[in-house]
Structure 1
């Protein structure tokens, strides 16, 4: 993941340079990218689909990066751009340190405001409250924010980035260190989830959103393609049940595009797949099997309600569900 070069905060302060306003911003995302997936989940859980529209890129990049070839004419219909990089260069013509997603763009100017994948979900949960749907969960509650930040830092180090440390290691020592940290953490999480439905208790918080995109990619991509192969997710019983519980919760699984994930990782990040062979999995029905996590009590949304049907439903999967 390229560094977050654009780190402005979009806030509830009406006098701020970048203040929250419905329709003012557009978020550029890839359904293949776990960092963008986190932002997509938060946006959906909070009911911000109308207030903050999204532009979804093709999972296959070319030499210029993420592109809008899924849209008619190969251009985003709102911003009129062909590549994510165009919004970065509009903000800074000399920018050359990568053009990652998610990125939030000011619609009027076409400039990237922020690509800070760590703070975008937090700001959606806190600064955008006036635009949240009724019954939206409090993903970043007062009194638990320090705990959430600390937990997210651990998850990011050992799991979210840890799988990339394993998969992109260039020495045996680096691989062994990251591999050990990753599976030690997964085993700790599996044990933790034996007695609690969600990571911090009886309802979802930002830490659950933070971890889920890595879990949904684990057996499909990280286990084989990234050599994270001590065990599969399905072999960690509590973590696998937890992952299915989240997947079946509105706002989580209905944002997952297995086809985009499959094609991006195996056809773009192809160093270990030189013949560009596309795996036939996963079997999505496995994610819909009973998980039994209700027996632990609690409810994903606490006293709130689930979001309604998605405004941008994931298209039926092709090869990935074969």
Structure 2
């Protein structure tokens, strides 16, 4: 298996900096012309428990109570031995998705666009009747679940994207994406020392800033969880288990940041976060599929996941304690 095949469709610029591919299927959900109709049971969310972008959709789905209207298909964290980057449904009986009846995510992408040239990415929203991918816009998907899918939210669903905070949330989400979510990839996939060091320093400068922000408030926008918390959390969950070693972002571990670490445990202990977090999938994918130096495919045993259940004490930061 050649390391370079896993990231076909993405490049490094002349300085060696990692450049992420764009999204191909970006039609929004809605009632307007050219928008995807909002219908219970019509779509299937394909996800990998290793992928932060896909896990984010699963957390939002659980928090909002969309389980009955949006089905899910889980792919194997270890990519199949193929000549191009792909995901396989090898965890299912017969190695076939039970609803879509395909073996590989690429089958769905190519059914949607036979000329598709990029990586076959998760999350992917598949229109079940046609068996085609209709949206893989990982950056905006959660906004749709939080807004235009509101009629299907459970009665006590949290408001993850409150209207009065939307601009602030979107601005912070952009910062989190560039400096943390994608920042660790820029470090891990850099092809030049200067590009790596620039990404490395940017990641830790932002983590220091976030640790300070969370020293006086329970969540990123106060007492309530928002879309921003979910976006930050999926990277924090992978930091010590994968990024610290595989992506060489090793100035500090998450556990070395007192406020970020307690905040991350606070979120993990909420079922929607903890139940959609599979450290075995995370470690297998990043160390076997993303680390070119791991020629024997060894998956680390640690860190001990029991540490995520240690009391966090964040309740005292709430203005109105639960």
TM-score, normalised relative to structure 2: 0.90
Which of 147, 154, 177 is residue 126 of structure 1 equivalent to? 147
Question: Unaligned regions of 5+ residues in structure 1, if any?
Answer: 303-322
1:98 is displaced (CA, Å) by: 1.4
Are the counterparts in 1 of residues 246 and 290 from structure 2 also a CA contact under 8 Å? no
Quote the residue 2:201 is aligned against. Answer: 180
Quote the residue 2:13 is aligned against. Answer: none
Question: Unaligned regions of 5+ residues in structure 2, if any?
Answer: 1-19
Paired positions, count? 300
The 2-side partners of 1:123 and 1:299 are apart by 29
Quote the residue 1:236 is aligned against. Answer: 257
The 1-side partners of 2:319 and 2:308 are apart by 21
1:144-199 deviations in whole A, cap 9, x for unaligned? 11111100000000000000111111111111111111100000000111100001
Q: 1:54 aligned to 2:75?
A: no
1:294-313 deviations in whole A, cap 9, x for unaligned? 0111579x8xxxxxxxxxxx
The 2-side partners of 1:224 and 1:251 are apart by 27
The 2-side partners of 1:230 and 1:14 are apart by 48
Quote the residue 1:8 is aligned against. Answer: 27
1:22-52 deviations in whole A, cap 9, x for unaligned? 1000011000001101111111110101100
- In structure 2, the CA distance between the partners of 1:293 and 1:16, relative to structure 1 (3 Å rule), is same
Are the counterparts in 2 of residues 104 and 114 from structure 1 also a CA contact under 8 Å? yes
Are the counterparts in 2 of residues 244 and 291 from structure 1 also a CA contact under 8 Å? yes
Which range moved further: 274-283 or 95-104?
Answer: 274-283
The 2-side partners of 1:40 and 1:200 are apart by 21
Which of 60, 63, 78 is residue 45 of structure 1 equivalent to? 63
Quote the residue 1:284 is aligned against. Answer: 305
- In structure 2, the CA distance between the partners of 1:15 and 1:131, relative to structure 1 (3 Å rule), is farther
Moved over 3 A (4+): 14-17
The 1-side partners of 2:213 and 2:291 are apart by 35
Quote the residue 1:320 is aligned against. Answer: none
The 1-side partners of 2:41 and 2:133 are apart by 15
Quote the residue 2:37 is aligned against. Answer: 19
1:98-142 deviations in whole A, cap 9, x for unaligned? 110001010000111100001111100001000011100111111
Quote the residue 1:97 is aligned against. Answer: 118
The 1-side partners of 2:293 and 2:21 are apart by 21
- In structure 2, the CA distance between the partners of 1:46 and 1:99, relative to structure 1 (3 Å rule), is same
Q: 1:138 aligned to 2:159?
A: yes
The root-mean-square deviation of aligned C-alpha atoms, in Å, is: 1.5
Q: 1:152 aligned to 2:173?
A: yes
Quote the residue 1:223 is aligned against. Answer: 244
SS of 1:134's equivalent in the other structure is coil
Are the counterparts in 2 of residues 258 and 282 from structure 1 also a CA contact under 8 Å? no
1:281 is displaced (CA, Å) by: 1.2
Q: 1:261 aligned to 2:282?
A: yes
The 2-side partners of 1:299 and 1:186 are apart by 26
Are the counterparts in 2 of residues 26 and 55 from structure 1 also a CA contact under 8 Å? yes
The 2-side partners of 1:293 and 1:287 are apart by 14
Are the counterparts in 2 of residues 33 and 261 from structure 1 also a CA contact under 8 Å? yes
Quote the residue 1:32 is aligned against. Answer: 50
1:14 is displaced (CA, Å) by: 7.8
SS of 2:246's equivalent in the other structure is coil
The 2-side partners of 1:186 and 1:16 are apart by 39
